[in-house]
Amino acid sequence: MTGQLKCISPIDGSVYATRDTLSRDEAFAVAERARAAQAAWAARPLKERIDLVLAGVAAVGAMNDEVVPELAHMMGRPVRYGGEFRGFEERASYMAQIAESSLADMQVGEDATFKRYIKRVPHGVVFVVAPWNYPYMTAINTVAPALIAGNTVILKHATQTLLVGERMAKAFHSAGVPEDVFINVFLDHDTTNDLIAGRAFNFVNFTGSVGGGKAMERAAAGTFTGVGLELGGKDPGYVMEDADLDAAVDTLVDAAMFNSGQCCCGIERIYVHESLYDAFVEKAVAVVKGYKLGNPLDSDTTIGPMANVRFATEVRAQIAEAVEAGAVTHIPTMEGDDGAAYLTPQILTNVTHDMRVMREESFGPVVGIMKVSSDAEAIALMNDSDYGLTVSLWTQDVERAQAVGDQLETGTVFLNRADYLDPGLCWTGCKDTGRGGGLSVIGYHNLTRPKSYHLKKVTK
């Protein structure tokens, strides 16, 4: 028996798209198709796989005029920002560029008697469960290198961005990637669990909530299926006394509010040295007051609705609890705030780590700002979190930033920037943010397994 997935548009609460889910038997049959196709795909020359993947990426780009308003309808990002193709293409192109060196045999030694080396071989079938907040870029992080490395890929996208996986599969197939090599599926949670528990996949990559990550690990328990997880975040920024104040304000506020705060590595808490604190808050408030909250299809809109009413409800609850406990709000309710998905972006001061808004993931357009007097105090506060994805440091002293960064429990340390995924660096986290790593050479290592060759030569 199949069910139905519904994408509810945050623009007006209407049903934007529906798709029927696969039954359990249908889903296992799809996985078997991917498994049957994998050996032949891996046997193709690496350059051929690279060229096909890049052609698929280009085919997605050719759809961009349709993709941008479609994303606005599905998850609320304003059309003025133009979609995700630039990052989508950048990440895939970089992974294609480093594929040969990343997947090359590791030569251990050869003499007259022995030849020894380590190969990187594909896992087999890779299951990608992608989120809605950056639905194209988060998916391509795994899809491109997994295919290039010789895996077949089954993609399951979030219901909120129901049409993204379908578009990606259509584009890649049109470019020549075989249909059984890259398959988009619509699944309910129970069938997803059954597939993982039933060893339908050789590797699972999940981006989403901590609860979702725990469900993936429970489903994979005892199967020895590899699981890569990028989960929640509560990323901090730290502005030191010698920082470029205007640059810090512009970057950190944008990192907190862009995409209605729905960014994996969005800034959710800011610590400012006491000498710059008042000026930082004043400038940050001025920036946010200049936003226009409204319909994302309007080119004048700078901040759209949150992707779902329930997400906005959680952010409102965190703000209300903080205010009740003594926090101060700085942004008056905006005209476009409807009490539902359209939410006024908010800056909070007089916050403490006793408040949920400074401890739990908000994933919305709210940021708390605290005053600090030293690096030691800032480090303790930044580490006082269950999460560890990125941190943004602001100082003119690179060595000081490195020394502070070395003491932080995080996956990435940014200096004088924030909220950017460099495909040359491993995208990874610690603590409840998850485990594993995507992109860079390490991304290829996680999407393949080592296979050792110890060959004794016949010398007679």
CB of 357 within 8 A of CB of 318?
A: yes
| 409: annotated active-site residue | no
CB of 424 within 8 A of CB of 94?
A: yes
Residue 295: name the closest of 40, 9, 102, 7 by CA. Answer: 9
DSSP string computed for 195-251: HHHTT--SEEEEES-HHHHHHHHHHHTTTT-EEEEE----EEEEE-TTS-HHHHHHH
d(CA 355, CA 323): 9
Q: Which of 70, 84, 89, 230 is catalytic?
A: 230
CB of 161 within 8 A of CB of 188?
A: no
| 264: annotated active-site residue | yes
Residue 426 is encoded by which pair of tokens? 């491993």
**Pairing label, strands 182-185, 152-157:** parallel
d(CA 149, CA 400): 39
Go through 196-211 and write b for each residue having 16 or more CB atoms within 10 A of its CB, e for each that does not.
beeebbbbbbbbbebe
Q: Which of 263, 264, 265, 426 is catalytic?
A: 264
Phi/psi for 202 (5° steps) reads -100, -20
Q: Which residues are catalytic?
A: 230, 264
